[in-house]
Protein backbone atom coordinates (compact mmCIF):
# COMPACT_ATOMS: atom_id res chain seq x y z
CA UNK A 1 0.00 0.00 0.00
CA UNK A 2 1.41 3.37 -0.96
CA UNK A 3 1.83 6.11 1.59
CA UNK A 4 -0.77 8.25 -0.17
CA UNK A 5 -3.34 5.46 0.07
CA UNK A 6 -2.44 4.87 3.69
CA UNK A 7 -2.96 8.58 4.44
CA UNK A 8 -6.44 8.49 2.90
CA UNK A 9 -7.30 5.32 4.84
CA UNK A 10 -6.17 6.81 8.16
CA UNK A 11 -8.15 10.01 7.54
CA UNK A 12 -11.26 7.91 6.90
CA UNK A 13 -10.70 6.01 10.17
CA UNK A 14 -10.35 9.30 12.06
CA UNK A 15 -13.68 10.47 10.69
CA UNK A 16 -15.32 7.19 11.73
CA UNK A 17 -13.90 7.49 15.26
CA UNK A 18 -15.14 11.08 15.58
CA UNK A 19 -18.64 9.86 14.81
CA UNK A 20 -18.43 7.16 17.51
CA UNK A 21 -17.92 9.56 20.38
CA UNK A 22 -15.42 11.19 22.78
CA UNK A 23 -14.22 7.86 24.31
CA UNK A 24 -12.06 7.38 21.20
CA UNK A 25 -10.22 10.70 21.64
CA UNK A 26 -6.85 9.03 22.45
CA UNK A 27 -7.11 6.84 19.35
CA UNK A 28 -8.03 9.90 17.27
CA UNK A 29 -4.95 11.78 18.55
CA UNK A 30 -2.72 8.80 17.76
CA UNK A 31 -4.09 8.50 14.24
CA UNK A 32 -3.79 12.26 13.67
CA UNK A 33 -0.12 12.06 14.67
CA UNK A 34 0.31 9.14 12.29
CA UNK A 35 -1.31 11.06 9.43
CA UNK A 36 0.84 14.06 10.28
CA UNK A 37 3.98 11.93 9.87
CA UNK A 38 2.89 10.18 6.66
CA UNK A 39 3.49 13.15 4.28
CA UNK A 40 7.00 13.55 5.69
CA UNK A 41 7.57 9.82 5.23
CA UNK A 42 6.32 10.13 1.65
CA UNK A 43 8.72 13.01 0.95
CA UNK A 44 11.60 11.07 2.52
CA UNK A 45 10.78 8.05 0.38
CA UNK A 46 10.64 10.16 -2.77
CA UNK A 47 13.99 11.78 -1.90
CA UNK A 48 15.59 8.38 -1.25
CA UNK A 49 14.27 7.04 -4.57
CA UNK A 50 15.72 10.04 -6.43
CA UNK A 51 19.09 9.53 -4.73
CA UNK A 52 19.06 5.86 -5.71
CA UNK A 53 18.21 6.74 -9.31
CA UNK A 54 21.04 9.28 -9.37
CA UNK A 55 23.50 6.71 -8.00
CA UNK A 56 22.25 4.21 -10.57
CA UNK A 57 23.08 6.68 -13.36
CA UNK A 58 26.51 7.54 -11.91
CA UNK A 59 27.59 3.95 -11.23
CA UNK A 60 28.38 3.00 -14.87
CA UNK A 61 30.52 6.15 -15.23
CA UNK A 62 32.43 5.30 -12.05
CA UNK A 63 32.97 1.74 -13.26
CA UNK A 64 34.30 2.99 -16.60
CA UNK A 65 36.64 5.39 -14.81
CA UNK A 66 37.85 2.57 -12.55
CA UNK A 67 38.48 0.30 -15.53
CA UNK A 68 40.32 3.10 -17.32
CA UNK A 69 42.52 3.67 -14.27
CA UNK A 70 43.27 -0.05 -14.03
CA UNK A 71 44.28 -0.04 -17.67
CA UNK A 72 46.58 2.96 -17.09
CA UNK A 73 48.20 1.24 -14.10
CA UNK A 74 48.66 -1.95 -16.13
CA UNK A 75 50.35 0.00 -18.94
CA UNK A 76 52.61 1.76 -16.44
CA UNK A 77 53.58 -1.55 -14.87
CA UNK A 78 54.45 -3.03 -18.27
CA UNK A 79 56.43 0.08 -19.20
CA UNK A 80 58.34 -0.11 -15.90
CA UNK A 81 59.20 -3.77 -16.44
CA UNK A 82 60.38 -3.06 -19.99
CA UNK A 83 62.48 -0.10 -18.83
CA UNK A 84 64.08 -2.21 -16.10
CA UNK A 85 64.84 -4.95 -18.62
CA UNK A 86 66.31 -2.39 -20.98
CA UNK A 87 68.45 -0.89 -18.21
CA UNK A 88 69.79 -4.35 -17.32
CA UNK A 89 71.05 -4.96 -20.86
CA UNK A 90 74.53 -3.93 -21.80
CA UNK A 91 75.19 -1.09 -24.19
CA UNK A 92 76.40 -1.77 -27.73
CA UNK A 93 79.90 -0.49 -26.90
CA UNK A 94 80.14 -2.88 -23.92
CA UNK A 95 79.06 -5.79 -26.11
CA UNK A 96 81.63 -4.90 -28.81
CA UNK A 97 84.32 -4.64 -26.18
CA UNK A 98 83.34 -8.02 -24.75
CA UNK A 99 83.36 -9.50 -28.27
CA UNK A 100 86.82 -8.16 -28.97
CA UNK A 101 88.08 -9.68 -25.71
CA UNK A 102 86.93 -13.09 -26.86
pLDDT at 40 over 90: no
- Residue 51 — left, alpha, or beta (φ > 0 → left; ψ -120 to 50 → alpha)? alpha
pLDDT at 1 over 90: no
pTM tops 0.85 = no
How far is 30 from 18, CA to CA, in rounded Å? 13
Work out the average pLDDT over 78-97: 84
Amino acid sequence: MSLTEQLKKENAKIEQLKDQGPEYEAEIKRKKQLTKNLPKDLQDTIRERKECEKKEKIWPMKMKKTLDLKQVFRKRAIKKVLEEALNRTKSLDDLKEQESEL
